[in-house]
Amino acid sequence: MCESNVYLIDENGRESLFFESVDRLIPQEDGLLLENIFGQKKLIKAKIKELALVRHKIILEK
């Protein structure tokens, strides 16, 4: 399956894992709605810095 892990990058460039196995990402007015393959959802006030899908990686920044 082609879900990705979502990482949050801080101002020092350090990445921390925020949410695993994300299938869907839907931008909202107040952030990004993430849904993983298990149907769990998280809303985060952040923006996309980069998608690297072959590496199963989504990087967000606040």
54: three-class secondary structure by DSSP: helix
Residue 43 touches its own copies, criterion: CB under 8 A = no
Report which DSSP code applies to 11.
T
Residue 1 touches its own copies, criterion: CB under 8 A = yes
Helices (runs of H) and strands (runs of E) counted in the chain: 0, 6
CB of 15 or CB of 23, closer to its own copies = 23
Cβ(5)–Cβ(60) below 8 Å: no
> Which of 28, 40, 45, 52 touches its own copies (CB under 8 A)?
52
Enumerate binding residues for its own copies (CB under 8 A).
Answer: 1-4, 22-27, 37, 47-54, 56, 58
